Amino acid sequence: MPKIHIPVIGYMQGGRQMMTTAMSAPDLVTMVTKPAAWNPVKTDAHGNRPRDTNHLKGIVKYLEDEEHFVLGAAVLYLASKEATFTPHAIPGVTTEYDAAQVGLLSVDIGAKFDIGDGQHRIGAYEDVVQNRDDDDPIIERLKDSGQPLIIVIEDDHKRRAQDFADLQRNVKAPTQSLGQSMDRRQPINRELSDLFDSIPVFEDRVEYLKDNPGKLSAKLFSFKTVRYVSGLLLVGNKYRTPSTMDKAVNGRFEGEGEEGEKSRDELIAFWTALGEMTRFADAIEGEVKGAELREATYLLSAGVLYAIAYAVYLVKSAAAALSYSADPDLKDKIDSIIPLAVRALDDVDFARILDEKIKKATADEPLSEDDSIFVGNLIEPATGKLAAGRTAWEGAGMKLARIILDDEELSFLSK
């Protein structure tokens, strides 16, 4: 039977013949078969999970938008009756004892690869190839690029399915903090990283590897928390999904207009003012350790930080409505609204409720606002535990906003 020959590097793994190579997207999509739905009863196909349309569209957009794209290897299968690997020694370079053997994969013409892992990547390529003309610059880019492949000769469909389970089990996704801080393609990530060396509260106090600094950590915030707090400050809470909020926040920094500079100034003003609050200033000066601040107050709780940012956003929005004023004194206050708002929170008691009080809290004798301003929003009255979720920090934020507006220096906003 006529065959096609593909240059590969062969190796053995787990007792099976495997090969690695690369193919251009237009060639690859013609040589794969559409994955069947997973059904453990079937023996003629190992099957796969349903395609996630949104995930696939995200990869399509990435391929179309990013010139310097990178996608990991897909895992494909062929049966032993339709494919063979033949090693070809290179004199003076390879030996029979090498783990990697340069050679040729010979495949029957008409044979199709079975997708083990990577159906969304290959589906995205297929979407781009089918919906663009051959002379489209993106198609040209895909023709000049290779999609890495791991090809396995395996007849047992159950073994193929087991490989998929094993691959998912042995892959660890990065934390959001790590992934976001490394992703400089998003403007907000770049902006924050560039600010970390110039704002005292950030200096060596941001945790990149974890989404939540440990109880004894010297770090004050995770990158994930700083990012979300900054987003709330800039665009508020009206976006209900991470992707729509990301789009709004990143949009503040796109282009060369004044909005980007204004947003940058707002971030600097907020985080500088936060670092000047008494409790944070003590940590910056070294009088209080990060672990001590975490143990003594709620200030390093993500929910409280979200509430503070949301409160300042509400006050900032109220001030923006008065920006037309011709009163010079009023204009100066409006221009300085963010540090003024944060400074107004310095008198708020952020101290943690004593464990003794929490242990006594019950549904019949719950905690009250006398114990903490956050009881009833961020703190559950009957248990003393911090509540999770948007409703909790939004309620706390509105309460903090009222405190800010009651401040004498900002009373003009309530009139």
- How far separated are the first and last CA of the chain, in Å rounded? 87
Check residues 283 and 2 and name the one with the higher pLDDT. 283
Residue 407 above 90 pLDDT?
no
Q: Exposure pattern of 76-114 as b/e (b: 16+ CB <10 Å)?
A: bbbeeebbbbebeeeeeeeeeeeeebebbbebbeebbbb
CB of 263 within 8 A of CB of 234? yes
pLDDT score for 83: 95
Residue 289 burial by Cβ neighbours in a 10 Å radius (0-12, 13-18, 19+): middle
pLDDT score for 139: 95
What proportion of the chain, given as a percentage, has pLDDT over 90? 76
Q: Which two tokens stand for residue 247?
A: 């789009």
The beta strand positions in 109-225, using DSSP E, are 113-117, 147-153, 206-207, 221-222
Alpha carbon of residue 265 to chain centroid: 24
Q: Alpha carbon of 121 to those of 115, 167, 171, 331: distances in Å?
A: 11, 16, 17, 53
Alpha carbon of residue 316 to chain centroid: 27
Confidence of residue 84 (pLDDT cuts 50, 70, 90): very high
Biggest CA pair distance of the chain = 89
Q: What is the mean pLDDT of residues 119-126?
A: 96
CB of 154 within 8 A of CB of 77? yes
Q: Which two tokens stand for residue 389?
A: 């979720």
Q: Of 102-111, 130-139, 280-289, 315-324, which range is least confident?
A: 315-324
pLDDT score for 117: 94
| Type of residue numbered 11 | Y
Compute the half-sphere exposure of residue 271: CA atoms within 13 Å on the CB side of its CA: 29
Confidence of residue 388 (pLDDT cuts 50, 70, 90): confident
Residue 346 above 60 pLDDT?
yes
Torsions phi, psi of 28, nearest 5? -65, -45
Q: Which two tokens stand for residue 216?
A: 């004894």
pTM above 0.75, yes or no: yes
Confidence of residue 326 (pLDDT cuts 50, 70, 90): low
Residue 409 above 80 pLDDT?
yes
